[in-house]
Structure 1
Amino acid sequence: MFEMLRSATLAAATLTTGLMAGLFYAYACSVMLGLGRTDDRTFVDAMQWINVKIINGWFLVPFLGAPILIVLTGVLILRGDGRSALPWIVAAFVLYGMTLAITFAVNVPLNNRLAAAGAPDDIADLAAVREAFETTWNRWNIARAGTSTAAFGCLVWALVLPGSTG
């Protein structure tokens, strides 16, 4: 039973981390490229709505669940066999922690500033608002796509290590 729980938490940690890596990757290689081709009003309006609508269970469960599941997996591995996976679990936690740090230190404050700019029809200089947001947000989104993808890779490796899943 213990091995099944450990396997399930490692699988869930891998899945939630993979979902987040995929989300950040999708923004980097499609969403932001597409929005980058739009006019300033469309860009600001779309990003303001995306930033409101992304705060939902479909996003929050994997976003916040991933680090919890990674820690739980590490604890369960410490209490059983399969310790060869532990360094990979720790690395995944550090990398996903970097993802969270980037999100809360850079992307969320930029999102908040974009929201504070007001409705697009009320913004006097849409180009300046967009310029203050877009390049920095994109750069750091690519960084968190990298850190979350690396965390996902560490968890995938932990899954395939002999004895890590019972």
Structure 2
Amino acid sequence: MYDSIRTAALIAATLTTGLSAGLFYAFACAVMPGLRRSDDHTFVTAMRRINVAILNGWFGLGFFGALVFTTVAAGLHLRADGHAVLPWLIAALALYLVLIVTTFAVNVPLNDQLEAAGTADGQPGPAAVRERFEARWVRWNVLRAVSGTAALGCLVWALVLHGRMGGGAA
């Protein structure tokens, strides 16, 4: 039973981390390059709408679930029979924490600044708003994509090692 719980936690950590890494990868490879080709007003409007739309339960499940499930999986592998897997889980957790810290220290504040920037008299227009936002947001999003993908790789390897140890075998 204990091995089944460890296996389930490890699978859940891998899946949710994959969802989160894939999201930031998609932004790096498709969303932001696509928006780069748009005019300033369209860019600012689209990013504002994306920043509102993304705040939903499905996003939360992947984003926070990865942190929770990876932490749980690491805790469940503290026993001596889980020590081969544990370093990979700790590495995955550390890499995912880079993603989380980057999100809350850089990308969310940039999103908030984008939302607060107006176009009324005395306020910067869309070109100035975009200028202060786009390059920095994209650069830090690439870090999130890379760290999330690296965390996913660590979790995949942890699953391989866990399977080799017979973890979760019925």
Q: Please classify the TM superposition score into its range, dividing by the shorter chain length.
A: over 0.9
Q: In the alignment, does 2:48 pair up with 1:52? A: no
What's 2:112 paired with?
112
Map of 1:37 onto structure 2: 37
1:7 equivalent in alignment to 2:2: no
Task: Determine the structure 2 residue equivalent to 1:26.
Answer: 26
Partner of 1:81: 81
Question: Structure 2 regions of 5+ residues with no counterpart?
Answer: none
Q: Kindly state the Cα deviation for residue 82 of structure 1 after the two structures are TM-superposed.
A: 2.7
Percent identity of paired positions between Structure 1 and Structure 2: 58
Greater CA drift, 130-139 or 76-85 = 76-85
In 2, are the aligned partners of 1:96 and 1:148 still within 8 Å (CA)? yes
Matched residue SS, 2:103? helix
Report the Cα distance in structure 1 between the residues aligned to 2:28 and 2:88, rounded to whole angstroms: 26
In angstroms, what is the RMSD of aligned CA positions?
1.5
Spell out, residue by residue over 1:115-142, the C-alpha distance to the aligned partner (whole angstroms, 9 max, x if none): 0013x68864211100100000000000
* CA-CA distance at 1:80 after TM superposition: 5.9
Instruction: Report whether the alignment pairs 1:98 with 2:69.
Output: no
Question: Aligned pairs, how many?
Answer: 165
Task: Name which of 151, 162, 167 aligns with 1:165.
Answer: 167
| Cα separation, 1, equivalents of 2:63 and 2:57 | 9
1:130 aligns to what?
130
CA drift of 1:83 comes to 1.6
TM-score (norm 1): 0.95
The one-letter code sitting in structure 1 at the alignment partner of 2:165 is G
Q: How far apart are the structure 1 equivalents of 2:149 and 2:67? A: 14
Q: Where does residue 144 of structure 2 map in the other structure?
A: 144
Q: Give, in whole Å, the separation in 1 of the partners of 2:166 and 2:142.
A: 31
Query: Take 1:41 and 1:149, find their aligned partners in 2: how far apart are those partners?
Result: 32
Partners of 2:165 and 2:101 lie apart in 1 by 32
Q: Which stretches in structure 1 are left out of the alignment for 5+ residues?
A: none
- Structure 1 residue 100 displacement after superposition: 0.4
Residues 99 and 147, structure 1, Cα contact 8 Å, conserved in 2: yes
**Following TM superposition, where does structure 1 have runs of at least 4 consecutive aligned residues deviating by more than 3 angstroms?**
120-124
- Pick closer, same or farther for the CA change 1:49–1:164 going to 2, 3 Å: farther
